[in-house]
Structure formats: structure tokens, C-alpha cells
Chains A and B, each alone.
Chain A
């Protein structure tokens, strides 16, 4: 079975631009979460979606937004990019996080560099 896939693998943008990152969960998984991992730190929670609804949000500015599609894939959008947005963006999927915890499976991440 295919694991969580993310695209693109790497991305270079300049300050002020907008970026869209994509994630396809494991087949059958209904929940997708997004994390930002800065070098030397642990992942920081950005969003969690379950059944196309936002179920959790971390402490990130409104420049960050996400959505989940009927096929459970997800996009993370970041507007007005700042240098500090440079990081590895991780997507994780799980079968069920609607009413409780579940194991998350992580993708390889998208490396975003903002110049």
C-alpha cells in the first residue's frame, strides 16, 4: 500500500509569494494533519481536518489556511510568505480522529525555502 504522499518535494519561493502544498492520505484514512518542522525542532501542529471539516488549529497566523477534499486529500496554503516560513512541511493521515486519538502516519514532507 502507498503511504502518505506529498507534493512537491522541494519548493523555492520569494518573500510575499503564495504557495500551495498537497497531500494524499493513505487509502481509507479520513483525517489529515499538517505540521511545520523547522530545522532542529520538533514538528509544530498547524491544522487537522477530519471528514472535510477543520477539527484542530495550532498557533499559526491567518496567512496559513487549508482544506480537505471529498477524496480526503488536502492542500495547505500559505500567503505572503516570510523568510521564517522556510521549513519542512509534514502531512500526516489517520483513519479516525473525529472523536478521539489515533495513530498518525507521516509523509516525507515538502521542503519550502523562502528567499
Chain B
């Protein structure tokens, strides 16, 4: 079955620390990849997306993600987190074969000032 795994349930970092959130998905043919963020009290919003081309994609607020096809991974990174990055982060995969969109369970990031 098509699925998306986010291995970290809750990550706690201090400001200026580097961040990497893992995302793996099951094989299902051609995929499109997304990271969404939900700040406290706000809607889900797109951080970045990968459809094709350069596997290293840059998003808003200094976030980037790398698509490694051989590992079925799309990890999210940020070199230096800020307190304002405290939020829940969701990895999502669109399986083009059946237009099924799968989200991971989410990773809650807490950044201590």
C-alpha cells in the first residue's frame, strides 16, 4: 500500500541549530513531493515542492529538501532554525498513477529561544 513515513514525532532544538526531518515513502511509480507546515493556530501552508528536475529544492523561509529517488526519501533541512519555526511539519506524496495524495503523520518541531 502507498504510504508516507515521518520518523520523528517530536523534535526539540535550540535556536541556530540545524534541522533535518526525515520523510520516506513507499514505491508507487512517479511521484510528486511536498512539505507542508502548520504554524500554531494557522492553516496548512506549502513550504516547498518537487515535481521534476534538480532534486535539491528550495522553499520559503530558508527551508530546502533533497529528493533521493533510490532511497525513496525527501528529507527537509534548514541550516539554522529560529523560534518562529516552531510548528508541525507534514511530508506529502502525490502518486501520479492513481492521483492519490498521502500525508505523513507529521513532525512537531519545538525551537527553544
Seen from chain A, the residues whose Cβ lies within 8 Å of a Cβ on chain B are 3-4, 33, 35, 40-45, 48, 55-56, 58, 90, 92, 97, 100-101, 103-109
Q: Answer whether residue B16 sits at the interface, using C-beta atoms and an 8 A cutoff.
A: no
Q: Which residue of A lies closest to B94 (CB)?
A: A101
Could you tell me if A103 and B46 are in contact, using CB atoms closer than 8 angstroms?
Answer: yes
In Å, the complex CA distance between A4 and B36 comes to: 16
B residues with a Cβ closer than 8 A to A are: 4, 6, 32, 36, 43-46, 49, 51, 90, 92, 94, 96, 98-106
Known: A33-B101, A101-B94. 13 other contacts (CB 8 A): A4-B43, A41-B105, A41-B106, A42-B90, A42-B105, A45-B100, A48-B99, A58-B101, A92-B44, A101-B49, A101-B51, A105-B46, A106-B45
Residues of A within 8 A of B49 (CB): 101, 103
Q: Decide: B105 and A43 in contact? CB cutoff 8 A.
A: no
B51 pairs with A42, CB closer than 8 A: no
- Select from chain B the residue with minimum beta-carbon distance to A45: B101
CB distance from A94 to the nearest CB of B (A): 10
| C-alpha gap A4/B90 in the complex (Å) | 19
Q: Is the CB of A40 within 8 A of B105?
A: yes
Residues in A neighbouring B92, C-beta threshold 8 A:
42
Give the residue name and chain of the B residue nearest to A43 (CB): B103
A92 / chain B contacts, CB cutoff of 8 Å: 44
In Å, the complex CA distance between A90 and B90 comes to 14
Contacts of A100 in B (CB 8 A): 51, 96
> Which B-chain residue is minimally distant from A58 (CB atoms)?
B100
- Establish whether residues B46 and A104, one from each chain, have CB atoms under 8 Å apart when the complex forms: yes
Contacts of A40 in B (CB 8 A): 105
Q: Cα distance A101–B31 when bound, in Å? A: 9
Pull 24 A–B residue pairs with CB atoms less than 8 Å apart, ordered by A: A4-B43, A35-B101, A35-B103, A41-B106, A42-B4, A42-B6, A42-B90, A42-B103, A44-B103, A45-B100, A45-B103, A48-B101, A58-B101, A90-B44, A92-B44, A97-B99, A101-B32, A101-B51, A101-B94, A101-B96, A106-B36, A106-B43, A107-B43, A109-B43
